[in-house]
């Protein structure tokens, strides 16, 4: 007898009917002879509605109170799914994050899990129960409720699977697996049968919302076999694992994208030795995440610096730069909003030079101007105008022959 952790996302538990259907998927797994821990998200768009509700009360709500509010979404689902299982004759018990022993660091809105005390969950499993755990939430060592960041229920599931040494973790969602790109935007996207942890981590970090990046990080660190599959269709999903054989010698395995990117340029920084460290230390202390960074030295020994941030961080970034202008010593700051980042990912790039060049050529043929670039061993990212984002994804998806992959069902 094995142990399986199943996770069901918001759409999959979006109505009473769907919760009853999820109960059937849990029972199927039990009938295969496995113990089951189920992790669920809030129903449908509940979390978004709660965020809107808070903004109607207070335009800048405290992060602690936001966590108390947002964690209620998942609490609704755990009770309803347990009731659904009980109605179908299966013994089940619901646990909030803190009841399930999920301890996090003391950070609101984006906490990391530091420890999971599994005793209670294990006791209930031993009594033959299905344990239904609220995703996305935990508790600090001083007893405050925290949340793990949007999409964080995936991370709860993988972390519990790792702590319980489960045989696998199945992420049930509204698509049939991990695709070469978001199938909602690109019709020729193809489901991959397998993808490596490293590639999936890049895709998730670069905007492929199908998995929370920390869930992939956890799965890799603890070597948890992870499967993404549909909660509706009985279709084989995508396995995410350490080593993956190259499907048809693919150099690129996926295209990821995200919008709401802003680039900021600081002109004429006077101190080449310290400007960079001072700027980025200051921004980090305000929790502003900087992504791509480009620096160039001008003829008169001044430094120009461009970097990309999320649109939502622009106001604070400009304020921070202005407040520290004297210390930083620069001429002026400009910014450009309405940008997007489009990235290609694949471990085949390591042994294939010229992939970045091919990407730039494809974009230039479509007259898409590249504003920023960043690369790693297995990815190339470009920042372009937001209006061109979907077009860029489509042409790159075709150019790297992902549209020609067989359709797996
Ligand atoms: P859940 O509520 O189940 O967690 P999410 O909305 O978080 O579901 O994630 C599933 C969505 O991820 C899909 O509906 C799809 O639009 C999006 N997505 C983005 N990139 C990909 C990709 N490469 N493969 C599959 N889905 C993707
Ligand atoms: N309910 C949370 C969200 O919408 C967490 C999750 O769904 O994973 O972000
Ligand atoms: Mg999700």
Q: Cα(47) to centroid of ligand 2, in Å?
A: 7
Give the chain's length.
409
Residue 242 confidence class, pLDDT cut points 50, 70, 90: very high
Give yes or no for residue 346 having a pLDDT over 90.
yes
Lowest mean pLDDT among 72-81, 209-218, 270-279, 395-404: 270-279
pLDDT tens for 113-154 read 999 999 999 999 999 999 999 999 999 999 999 999 999 999
Ligand nearest to the CA of 134: 2
pLDDT tens for 69-98 read 999 999 999 999 999 999 999 999 999 999
| Between 7 and 274, the higher pLDDT residue | 7
Task: Confirm if 198 and 378 have CB atoms less than 8 A apart.
Answer: yes
Q: Cα(345) to centroid of ligand 1, in Å?
A: 17
**Residue 247: predicted pLDDT:** 62
For residue 108, give every residue at least 6 positions away whose Cβ sits within 8 Å of its Cβ, in sequence order, or none.
63, 64, 66, 67, 144, 146, 147
Mean pLDDT (the chain) is: 96
171 lines ligand 1 (CB under 6 A): no
Give yes or no for residue 301 having a pLDDT over 90.
no
pLDDT tens for 146-198 read 999 999 999 999 999 999 999 999 999 999 999 999 999 999 999 999 999 99
Q: Sketch the domain layout of the chain as residue ranges.
A: 3-173, 255-400
Buried b (16+ CB within 10 A) or exposed e, 263-295: bbebeebeeeeebbebbeebbeeeebebbbebe
Backbone φ and ψ for 148, nearest 5 degrees, come out as -100, 5
The answer to whether 3-173 and 255-400 have equal CATH topology is no
Report the SS3 class of residue 376. strand
Give yes or no for residue 246 having a pLDDT over 80.
no
Element (H, E) at 345: strand 332-345
Ligand 2, atom 6, lies closest to the CA of 151
Fold of domain 255-400 = VC0802-like (3.30.2130)
205 lines ligand 1 (CB under 6 A): no
Q: Cα(278) to centroid of ligand 1, in Å?
A: 38
Probe ligand 2: pick from 43, 46, 47, 67, max atoms within 8 Å of CB? Answer: 47
What's the mean pLDDT in 278-289? Answer: 92
**Residue 97: predicted pLDDT:** 98
Fold of domain 3-173 = Carbamate kinase (3.40.1160)
179 lines ligand 1 (CB under 6 A): yes
pLDDT tens for 40-54 read 999 999 999 999 999
Lowest mean pLDDT among 115-124, 258-267, 295-304: 295-304
Q: What is the pTM of this model?
A: 0.95
Report the SS3 class of residue 147. strand
């Amino acid at each position: 007898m094995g142990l399986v952790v199943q996770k069901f996302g918001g759409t999959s538990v979006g109505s009473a009917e769907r919760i009853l259907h999820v109960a059937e998927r849990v029972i199927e797994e039990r009938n295969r002879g496995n113990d089951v821990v189920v992790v669920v998200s809030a129903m449908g768009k509940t979390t978004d509605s709660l965020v809107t509700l808070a903004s109607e009360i207070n335009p800048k709500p405290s992060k602690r109170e936001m966590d108390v509010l947002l964690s209620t979404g998942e609490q609704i689902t755990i009770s309803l799914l347990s009731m659904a299982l009980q109605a179908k004759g299966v013994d089940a018990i619901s646990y909030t994050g803190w009841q399930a022993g999920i301890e996090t660091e003391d950070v609101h809105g984006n906490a990391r899990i530091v420890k999971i005390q599994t005793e209670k969950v294990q006791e209930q499993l031993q009594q033959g129960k299905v344990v239904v755990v609220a995703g996305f939430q935990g508790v600090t060592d001083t007893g405050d409720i925290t949340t793990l960041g949007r999409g964080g229920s995936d991370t709860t599931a993988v972390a519990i699977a790792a702590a319980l040494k489960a045989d696998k973790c199945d992420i049930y969602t509204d698509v049939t697996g991990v695709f070469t790109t978001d199938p909602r935007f690109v019709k020729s996207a193809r489901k991959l049968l397998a993808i490596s942890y490293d590639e999936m981590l890049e895709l998730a970090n670069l905007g492929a919302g199908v998995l929370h990046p920390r869930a992939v990080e956890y799965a890799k660190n603890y070597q948890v076999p992870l499967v993404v599959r549909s909660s509706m269709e009985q279709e084989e999903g995508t396995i995410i694992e350490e080593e993956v054989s190259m499907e048809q010698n693919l150099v690129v395995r996926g295209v990821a994208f995200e919008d709401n990117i802003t680039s900021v340029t600081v002109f004429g920084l006077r101190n080449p030795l310290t400007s960079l460290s001072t700027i980025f230390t200051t921004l980090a202390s305000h929790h502003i995440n900087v992504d791509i960074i480009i620096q160039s030295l001008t003829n008169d020994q001044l430094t120009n610096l461009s970097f990309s941030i999320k649109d939502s961080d622009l106001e604070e970034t400009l304020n921070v730069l202005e407040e520290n202008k004297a210390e930083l010593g620069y001429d002026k700051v400009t910014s450009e909003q309405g940008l997007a980042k489009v990235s290609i990912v694949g471990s085949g790039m390591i042994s294939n030079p010229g992939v970045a060049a091919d990407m730039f050529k494809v974009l230039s043929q479509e007259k898409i101007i590249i504003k920023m670039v960043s690369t790693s061993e297995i990815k190339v990212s470009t920042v372009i105008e937001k209006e061109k984002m979907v077009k860029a994804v489509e042409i790159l998806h075709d150019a790297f022959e992902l549209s020609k992959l067989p359709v797996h069902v």
